[in-house]
Structure 1
Amino acid sequence: MRSRKWLKRRGAYGSRSIAFRPNPTYLYYAVTSRWKPRGPFRLLDLPPELRLQILHSALLDCEEQFEVLQIFLASRTLYAEAAEIFYHDILLDITERTKLPGFLTGPITPLSPRLYFHTIDLKISLENNLRDFNQLYIPLLREMAEQGNLRTLRLEIDGRFPRLNFWSDRWLELAEEFCDDEVQLLIGPETSLDYVGPAFLADQPFQTLLDFLSDPRIPEVLLYISSTDHYPFWCAFHRPHSSKLGLPCHGGSWRGKSTRLKINQKLFLPLFRHAREVETLPLLE
């Protein structure tokens, strides 16, 4: 038989009458009256997770960003925490540039903004930026991944060159004999598949780009192309047209609403990496 001392009649407010409960208003004033501010508010005394919430709201949601950016000048600790938020996602459009932006130049220091980039959307133009991208940006991006926080690169190729062979070094030497004809290539894992396409696919600038896309030093590199105007050889590697009729991309023009199309690199890279042009014998006169 259970002991009666544990049995209590429950009323509408639980086992104890509301009359015997402590007054919450009294306790509130009693607790708050014990604390009085002494000196200035010390932000670094807050727990890290709460401090990061305050910095996130101040840096990204505040309209007066000019005043807020003075946080970077307060201390090295606040600079590192603020930079991790402010530079986390970066959009760079260098389609009209041939030089590095100022914040990407100079030696690496603990105060270098590029150390804090986590995700970069980088848009380049084939005509203006390919050689600069290979010579300047590829070493820089690898440095940012090895010494900084770079984890994701979304590289978008904007448009096409005015000529099919524009990426080839030969157009510099043989400008008068330049033509827009495609050439016969050997592609595939063993470069044994016959393919007809623009000559730049087998030339060094484009192959340098493909080697970079396969580089494991950056955890995630995604390749996109412009949807409005691109070389037809890309069409086999992006998603099909999103119409009810299932029409394919026609001649490098995609009729959907997207402004850029993601390339399936698992299919694309094995085919075109290490591609080489078929050597043709000169005609005998």
Structure 2
Amino acid sequence: MAKSEVFRFFDLPPELRSAILTQVLVSEDYSTVVLHNATLFSPPLSDLTGILSVFLVSAQMYREASAIFYAENCFVLNAQSHRLPAHLTSQGGFLSEEGQDARRRVRRLTVHLTRVGGEFERVLGPALTDMVLNGSLRDLQLRLGPPSWRSRATRSLDPDMVQRPPFQALLRLLSDPYLEKVEFLAWKVHLTVFCPFHQKRHPSMKTDTESIDDQGLAILRSGPDWVELDWRALVEVYGTGQQIVTVGERSY
């Protein structure tokens, strides 16, 4: 009986190995790799155990697989609670010291925020800035103000927050020249301070669809749930010592 041949994955050409690992490790939906626990990622990407098994095959497999996993997926960081969740900042969490090497490898990230407070200035902002300056983060989307903005706890937010240190830290992050793509979106119910920085009129409507409620919050009655803000204009108007420069054909 002829001896059976052993298939050796690393005998394949690098481009073929990369194509196979991409099929295994890259989510088809670029909004589903949620950073919610100490393992840094979670389903639905979709079998976490299978992904960890790939990483643990060998040192070479970890290098090749993790490079694809962190560079090709878009990660979502949910920081919508009043305080940063403990699982993000505790030992092994995404924002912890142990998580630094992993988070520096992330290239695309979406961050959901309910408020821009002191923890953004002290913890989240510096971590994101480090991911840009010392890591691979080049594509950043910030979403501010989910439906919970209408809760009693968030109605006390002061429009003057844009002048305060935490929001100034956010503006500095948005204008970082190493970021290649930046988006800043607000929920359809938002502080009126953001009204001059988004399109108020939905293209299909002939009348203004934005109104102000009795608490001073602006409400978009028609159109999308999320509205994109002109973050460059925000920096120009509210940024302290900020300056957007043009490098080649790209403005920062």
Contact 2:95/2:124, CA 8 A, preserved across alignment: no
CA RMSD of aligned residues (A): 2.7
| Higher radius of gyration, 1 or 2 | 1
CA shift, 1:245, in A, is 1.3
Query: Partner of 1:137 in structure 2?
Result: 124
CA shift, 1:104, in A, is 3.3
Q: What is the distance in 1 between the residues matched to 2:130 and 2:162?
A: 27
Q: Structure 2 counterpart of 1:82, which letter?
A: A
5+ residue gaps in structure 1? 1-35, 166-197, 276-285
Q: Is 1:201 aligned to 2:188, yes or no?
A: no
Contact 2:110/2:141, CA 8 A, preserved across alignment: yes
Contact 1:240/1:246, CA 8 A, preserved across alignment: no
Residue from 59, 62, 67 that aligns with 1:76: 59
Query: Partner of 2:180 in structure 1?
Result: 219
Distance 1:273 1:146, change over 3 A: closer
Residue from 59, 62, 77 that aligns with 1:92: 77
Distance 1:115 1:205, change over 3 A: closer
Q: What is the distance in 2 between the residues matched to 1:45 and 1:261?
A: 49
CA shift, 1:164, in A, is 4.5
Mapping 1:22-171, distance limit 5 Å: 39-60=5-26, 64-87=47-70, 88-96=73-81, 97-98=83-84, 99=86, 100-101=88-89, 102-107=93-98, 112-126=101-115, 130-159=117-146, 160=149, 161-165=154-158
Q: Structure 2 counterpart of 1:261, which letter?
A: V
Query: Partner of 1:182 in structure 2?
Result: none
TM-score of the two chains, using structure 2 as the length reference = 0.70
Query: Partner of 2:229 in structure 1?
Result: 263
Give the aligned length: 203
Distance 1:133 1:203, change over 3 A: closer
CA shift, 1:234, in A, is 1.0
Q: Structure 2 counterpart of 1:47, which letter?
A: P
Q: What is the distance in 2 between the residues matched to 1:106 and 1:201?
A: 29
Q: Deviations over 1:196-233 (max 9, x none)?
A: xx333322232232222222243333211111x10112
Contact 2:113/2:144, CA 8 A, preserved across alignment: yes
Q: What is the distance in 1 between the residues matched to 2:219 and 2:3?
A: 66
5+ residue gaps in structure 2? 28-44, 213-217, 242-252
Q: Secondary structure at the match of 2:104?
A: helix
Q: Structure 2 counterpart of 1:230, which letter?
A: H
Distance 1:91 1:73, change over 3 A: same
CA shift, 1:136, in A, is 0.8
